[in-house]
Amino acid sequence: MGNLLKIENMQYSLETLDNSVQKWKTSAEGRYLLRYPTVYIINDKKSENNFEVYVGETADIRNRTRQHLNVDRKMRTFWEDFSESNSSSMYVIGHELFNKSLTLDIENRLMQYLLSVDNISRVHNSRTNQQNEYFTSDKLDKIFSDIWKSLNKKNKSLFPIESIIKDSAIFKASPFHKLTQEQINAKEEILDKIKEAVILDEKGQLIIVEGEAGAGKTVLMSTLLYEIGKHNLDLDGNLDIHLLVNHDEHVSIYNQIVTKLGISSKTNNIVSKPTSFINSHSSNEKVDVVIVDEAHLLLTQGKQSYQGKNHLNDLLKRAKVVVIVFDLKQVLRTEQIWELDKLNYYFDYAKNKNNHITLKNQMRINSDESTINWIRNLIDNQVINNIPFDNKGYEIKVFNTPEELEKTIRDKAQNTESGISRMLATFDWQYKEKPPENEDYWRVKIGNWSMPWNYQLKVSRKQSKLPWIEQVQSIDEIGSTYTIQGLDLNFAGVIIGPSVKYRGGQIVFDEKSSANKKATRRRTLEDGSKQYFSEMLLKNELNVLLTRGVNGLYIYAVDEQLREALKKASKGDKNE
């Protein structure tokens, strides 16, 4: 027999509250709402597909609701709106295992879920209340899942099915993810340093957070944005805070988060791309804080839209504190190449001020450490060991044909419980503005099999602002490193093209077989000399693709020797 869960939905008014309380007093289950801690969701349907919500928890639902209706409405506009509206209601959630810590965690997760709902335009009371371990913490996932399923039965437009929530890019970038102790320590350290720099009016402070793909860097950045923009570090007045991201889709995602949570800055344009920020800010008026996600993608030389020489240098001139997350293994283009002396200068600069933080834990890939080591060994050391058995069920599969790989990914994608699965490929097939004559699209072609590259098929206007992986037509396309970087898939189906070969017992990179001119062209260095960085950039491309899958990595290799080596590894045969 399961634990007792009680959810009541009532009109949000004093009269309905009093009537409900009287009813609860006389019912056997009413004590879980009256005498136990509860979680509640006040919601107002502004229009057909537009809700505002407030999420809270309390030890006394009667008095807390009375306070909201009588006192809080005089303090904040949104409380007035809730109390005056004829369409506002309140869900009160009780459970026989609820205690203070558990209700705080449930409240936090409800905010994480509701933030990701398309129909919700604003989430109020967005504080993070992450709890450490407590008596019933091991039951949190099961209890929350039961609560969400029950809410979904009551109102599908306000509480969509869990799989839809978890597939959304907003969910993955949400500041309400439960942080690991490593992330908590990093967050507290960074917030302390920012507060000190702002109070002392320091200029050009650089904080570097280093970590490989899947180390939880993006969630840390999102949490920092929320903590500073919402709570202002207990300093007087709004801080001038900016988050810089490198892809248009990410600008859209974070703008939605900022709007829904009411995160504010001295200036309205909180989220932008690095070049846009630099071009719209002078070094004369420094902003307080700049946070840069995926700073390894910052430019280190000028191009048409950017007339400077180094993004990071220009950002440091325009801010009191610049916080960057960095992974050298995800640099993809020659104009992002860091010359060693310049890179060392910035890292030494941060380290000398004790401003260098490393995230070591792998968080994206849901696997044993042996599986992560296998992937890292393949990429970093270019060696293929036997694919280990994974106790957590992470799947690494090698396919004989691209057709088989495509079919398997399509099957995975149809299972809504599994999450989003998509096809990816190394950039070894041409892709330019317009396809050549006699061709409908730019395609990844292997023998008689082909699939269009990303952004080739028609996309509806409504979906055009979604990340590529969330667009419905993307199941019929193949993503590149530039499309998938910074995003997660449930299962990643990766076609390793002819630029990656297996010779003499080792993986080698063949730049002549790559169509990625941004990786294979020469880079002009500061001393005027020109140099190729193809091997490093093609290895980084493989790194990005092979670290996208949360629950599985499916591979087809075009190079026959590489394919055979991978097949042997999957059978557990010894490799020569």
Q: Is the pLDDT of residue 1 over 50?
A: no
Flag whether pLDDT at 576 surpasses 70: no
For residue 285, what are its two tokens?
């008026």
Distance CA 505, CA 470 (A): 38
Q: CA–CA separation, 332 vs 329, rounded Å?
A: 8
* Residue 508, pLDDT above cutoff 90: yes
pTM across the whole model: 0.84
Rounded alpha-carbon distances, angstroms, from residue 389 to 38, 394, 575: 43, 9, 17
- Whether the per-residue pLDDT at 369 is higher than 80: the answer is yes
> CA geometry: angle at 101 spanning 96 and 107, to 5°?
85
Closest CA to 252 of 47, 88, 465: 465
User: What's the rounded Cα separation, in Å, for the pair 268 and 287?
Assistant: 13
d(C-alpha 300, C-alpha 401), whole Å: 40
- Dist CA 458 CA 303 (whole Å): 30
Q: SS3 of 161, please?
A: coil
Determine the residue type at 204. G
Calculate mean pLDDT across residues 542-565.
96
pLDDT at 126: 54
Number of Cα atoms under 13 Å in the Cβ half of residue 289: 31
Q: What share of the chain is helix, strand, coil (3-state, %, to 5)?
A: 40, 20, 35
Q: Distance between CA 137 and CA 101 in Å, rounded?
A: 8
Instruction: Tell me what the mean pLDDT of segment 94-113 comes to.
Output: 94
What are the start-end ranges of the E strands in 159-312? 205-210, 241-244, 271-272, 287-292
d(CA 297, CA 52): 36
What confidence tier does 307 reach under pLDDT thresholds 50, 70, 90?
A: confident
- Chain mean pLDDT for the chain: 90
Closest CA to 303 of 337, 339, 275, 280: 275
216's CB contacts (< 8 A; 6+ apart) are 179, 180, 182, 183, 359, 361, 363
**Using 50, 70 and 90 to split pLDDT, how confident is the model at 475?**
very high
Q: How far apart are CA 340 and CA 352, in angstroms?
A: 18
Percent of the chain with pLDDT over 90: 68
pLDDT at 417 over 60: yes
Cα–Cα distance for residue pair 100/200, rounded to 1 Å: 38
Calculate the alpha carbon distances from 288 to 44, 267, 305, 318, 322 in Å: 35, 11, 25, 9, 9
Structure tokens belonging to residue 564: 């055979």
Work out whether strand 506-509 and strand 500-503 pair parallel, antiparallel, or are unpaired.
antiparallel
Over residues 532-547, the mean pLDDT reads 92
Cβ-in-10-Å burial (0-12, 13-18, 19+) of 479 comes to buried
Q: Please give the single-letter amino acid code of residue 352.
A: N
The pLDDT value given to residue 127: 65
- Please say if the pLDDT value at position 574 is more than 50: no
Measured N-to-C along each axis, helices 369-380 and 534-546 cross at an angle, to the nearest 10 degrees, of 160
Contacts of 134 (CB under 8 A, 6+ apart): 99, 101, 102
Let me know: does 144 contact 95? Beta carbons within 8 Å: no
Rounded mean pLDDT, 320-344? 85
Q: Are 159 and 168 in contact (CB under 8 A)?
A: no
**Using one digit for the tens of pLDDT, what is the confidence trace for 6-61?**
999 999 999 999 999 999 999 888 999 999 999 999 999 998 889 999 999 999 99
Q: What is the pLDDT of residues 211-268, one digit of tens each?
A: 887 788 989 999 999 989 887 676 766 789 999 998 888 898 999 999 999 988 777 7
b/e code 181-206 from CB counts within 10 Å (16+ = b): ebbeebbeebbebbbebbeeeeebbb
Phi-psi region of 231 (alpha: psi -120 to 50; beta: other; left: phi over 0): alpha
Query: Rounded to whole angstroms, what are the CA distances from 523 to 11, 188, 391?
Result: 65, 39, 44
pLDDT at 572: 65
Looking at per-residue pLDDT, the higher value among 30 and 304 belongs to: 30
Question: Distance between CA 570 and CA 568 in Å, rounded?
Answer: 5
Query: Where does 150-216 show beta strands of DSSP type E?
Result: 205-210
Give whole-number Cα distances, 543 to 157, 380, 392, 426, 500, in Å: 39, 8, 22, 10, 12
Q: What is the pLDDT of residues 74-98, one digit of tens each?
A: 999 999 999 999 999 999 999 999 9
Residue 306 β-bridge partners: 303
pLDDT value at position 342? 85
